[in-house]
Amino acid sequence: MTLELPAPRVVDAGSVPALRWGVVGTSIADRFVAALHAHTTQRAVAVTARDPEKTAAFAARHGVDRVLPSVAALVSDPEVDVVYVSTPHTLHREQALAAIAAGKHVLVEKPIAMSADEAREVTAAGRAAGVLVMEAMWTRYLPQSDVLRQVLAAGTIGDVHLVTADFGFALPYDPSHRLWDPTLGGGALLDAGVYPISFAASVLGAPDRVVAEGESGPGGVDVRADLMLSYGSGARALLSTSLSSHLPVRASVVGSEGRVDVGSPFFGPSSLTLTLGGGDDERSATWTDDRFASLHEGLSDQATAFASYVAEGRVESPVHTHDDVVGVMQVIDEARAAVRGDA
Ligand SMILES: NC(=O)c1ccc[n+]([C@@H]2O[C@H](COP(=O)([O-])OP(=O)(O)OC[C@H]3O[C@@H](n4cnc5c(N)ncnc54)[C@H](OP(=O)(O)O)[C@@H]3O)[C@@H](O)[C@H]2O)c1
């Protein structure tokens, strides 16, 4: 019998309202706005950052009309519907709260904030204001993630026993790089580890127990962390992150009847293979996302999803709830404390 994977349920980019985006930061925002303009009806209309020349060049590159002098000016701009926060992690809470206070929907780069407490504060403020607050965990909005959700919901791989996922890379020590700077939220866990931890959460929810070991670098920045998460169902997740080695960037979900392997890098548009049985009886089917020439074009999917949720009057993402966002930050809090040695 041929094995078949369900087709992803994709939201048509032309079916959602064309929102006007105000952008804070011009670094990863460069790729996000390029993806937005190439693959969606969403439009960046205003930008602010620190360096006036770089910000003006960003605006010219992307056809953004207005360069604004401050975050305060951007969030209060009546021509802006949604604020995209893409500054270092330490600024996410303050800038997201400013956008929410101005009545704007907000997409906050990952991680949504520096801790579970901050994530709770931001998401609660969004709900109270009746605006959509979403962490830019773009993986959740990729078609492959919808295929995975359908496979899991159908029980095709049986009871889930194990999730494995990793993301890390070798980044030579440079005290001026934000990933090595403790005052900018440096460390592997908040920047890269958030992806495997969020992947585990998307399959298994919040864990009952977190065990983490790792290694700290200068200033207490977490350089490596390996985590084992345990769940009431008996399932476990084994996750790794690193700033000192190039990890394979794969993810798998293993169940009693089979498994799903997500291609590398699992957090971006890649592929998904379902395997059932074993030995001579093994059967598999693969779904491949071949829409894009470059990885970050996949950032467009989260923007289309965002606009569809705004149209539906939602204050949180149905595939990445605020509880889920906070739960991931809780795991990061515990793992960072364990690696620092104060757990
Ligand atoms: N989804 C993804 O694939 C992805 C990829 C990379 C990063 N990220 C996330 O995006 C965030 C930013 O990462 P990055 O790599 O882009 O960082 P980055 O290269 O350090 O760039 C930070 C940007 O924020 C701006 N900025 C800094 N302080 C500011 C302030 N006080 N007010 C306004 N703008 C300010 C900087 O402006 P100037 O340049 O003008 O100084 C710069 O444009 C991080 O949270 C990271 O986790 C996501």
User: In this predicted structure, what is the pLDDT of residue 130?
Assistant: 98
Query: Is the pLDDT reported for residue 342 higher than 90?
Result: no
pLDDT over 90 percentage in the chain: 97
Q: Are the C-beta atoms of residues 168 and 241 closer than 8 Å to each other?
A: yes
Distance CA 128, CA 120 (A): 12
Which residue's alpha carbon is nearest to atom 18 within ligand 1?
27
Query: Is the pLDDT reported for residue 278 higher than 90?
Result: no
User: In this predicted structure, what is the pLDDT of residue 199?
Assistant: 99
Give the pairing of strands 82-85 and 105-108: parallel
Which mutation among 109, 122, 241, 270 tests ligand 1's pocket best, with the greatest number of atoms within 8 A of CB?
109
Domains in the chain: ranges and CATH? 13-137 (3.40.50.720), 139-306+320-340 (3.30.360.10)
Q: Are the C-beta atoms of residues 250 and 270 closer than 8 Å to each other?
A: no
State both tokens at 101. Answer: 């206070």
Query: Is the pLDDT reported for residue 177 higher than 80?
Result: yes
233: which residues sit within 8 A by CB, 6+ positions away?
159, 160, 204
Which residue's alpha carbon is nearest to atom 44 within ligand 1?
88
Query: Is the pLDDT reported for residue 224 higher than 90?
Result: yes
Rounded to an integer, the average pLDDT of 164-182 is 97
**pTM score:** 0.98
Distance CA 8, CA 27 (A): 30
* CA of 89 relative to ligand 1 center, distance in Å: 8
* CA of 87 relative to ligand 1 center, distance in Å: 3
Greatest Cα pair distance, the chain, in angstroms, is 65
52-62 vs 28-39: helix crossing angle, rounded to 10: 20
User: In this predicted structure, what is the pLDDT of residue 343?
Assistant: 62
Query: Is the pLDDT reported for residue 100 higher than 70?
Result: yes
Strands (E), the chain: 20-24, 43-48, 66-67, 82-85, 105-108, 133-135, 160-168, 209-216, 222-230, 236-242, 251-255, 258-262, 271-276, 283-288
* CA of 19 relative to ligand 1 center, distance in Å: 22
DSSP string, 129-146: HT--EEE--GGGGSHHHH
* CA of 31 relative to ligand 1 center, distance in Å: 12
Residue type (1 letter), 246: H
What percent of the chain is helix, strand and coil (3-state, nearest 5)?
40, 25, 35
DSSP string, 159-201: SEEEEEEEEE------TTSGGG-GGGT-SHIIIIIHHHHHHHH
The per-residue pLDDT for range 182-191, each reduced to its tens digit, is 999 999 999 9
Which candidate, 233, 232, 208, 227, places its Cα nearest to that of 158?
A: 233
Give the pairing of strands 133-135 and 160-168: unpaired
Which candidate, 137, 129, 151, 162, places its Cα nearest to that of 234?
A: 162
Average pLDDT, the chain: 97
Distance CA 84, CA 31 (A): 13
* CA of 76 relative to ligand 1 center, distance in Å: 21
| Residues framing ligand 1 (Cβ under 6 A) | 24-28, 48-51, 54-55, 71, 86-89, 91, 109-110, 136, 138, 178, 191
The per-residue pLDDT for range 189-223, each reduced to its tens digit, is 999 999 999 999 999 999 999 999 999 999 999 99
The per-residue pLDDT for range 235-272, each reduced to its tens digit, is 999 999 999 999 999 999 999 999 999 999 999 999 99
Distance CA 168, CA 166 (A): 7
Q: Could you identify the atom of ligand 1 that is nearest to the CA of residue 51?
A: 40
* CA of 187 relative to ligand 1 center, distance in Å: 15
Rounded to an integer, the average pLDDT of 292-309 is 98
Distance CA 33, CA 21 (A): 9
253: left (phi over 0), alpha (psi -120 to 50) or beta: beta
224: which residues sit within 8 A by CB, 6+ positions away?
168, 188, 214, 215, 240, 241, 242, 243, 244, 245, 339
Which residue's alpha carbon is nearest to atom 25 within ligand 1?
25
For 106, half-sphere exposure in the C-beta direction (CA atoms, 13 angstrom radius) is: 34
